[in-house]
């Protein structure tokens, strides 16, 4: 082997010298922990991407009033439902 090259080791071989393989329960626990971390990360990202200010009274796009029910349901919204639908369709390439 060349100087500085590392030999390949299976992922399950621990560095502590123990040669036993992990059990399926350990893999299951690791998967559950990973799922919890992913869910927490996604929740944090979603919360961070929401506008923090108060909703606008008028739509940025058309100037029409944004209904109070929408402003309560989607704090920080800047568009009425029709304009938001159109903006999302454009983003997806639909219009």
pLDDT score, position 76:
83
Residue 38 lies in a domain: yes
- Going by C-alpha positions, the residue among 56, 51, 50 that lies closest to residue 67 is 56
For 51, the domain range is 25-92
pTM, full prediction: 0.42
Residue 4 lies in a domain: no
Distances, alpha carbon 24 to alpha carbons 7, 9, 27, in Å = 26, 20, 5
Residue 71 lies in a domain: yes
Instruction: Give me the residues paired with residue 12 across strands.
Output: none
Flag whether pLDDT at 37 surpasses 90. yes
Residue 61 lies in a domain: yes
Domain count, the chain: 1
Flag whether pLDDT at 65 surpasses 80. yes
Residue 18 lies in a domain: no
pLDDT score, position 49:
67
Residue 33 lies in a domain: yes
Residue 31 lies in a domain: yes
Residue 14 lies in a domain: no
**Residue 77 CB neighbour total at 10 angstroms:** 20
């Amino acid at each position: 082997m060349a100087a500085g090259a590392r030999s390949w080791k299976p992922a399950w071989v621990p560095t502590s010298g123990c040669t036993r393989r992990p059990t399926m329960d350990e893999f299951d626990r690791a998967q559950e922990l990973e799922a919890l971390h992913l869910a927490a990360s996604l929740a944090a990202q979603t919360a961070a991407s929401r506008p923090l200010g108060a909703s606008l009274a008028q739509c940025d796009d058309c100037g029409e009033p944004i209904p109070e029910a929408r402003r309560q349901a989607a704090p920080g919204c800047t568009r009425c439902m029709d304009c938001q639908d159109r903006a999302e369709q454009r983003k997806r390439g639909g219009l």
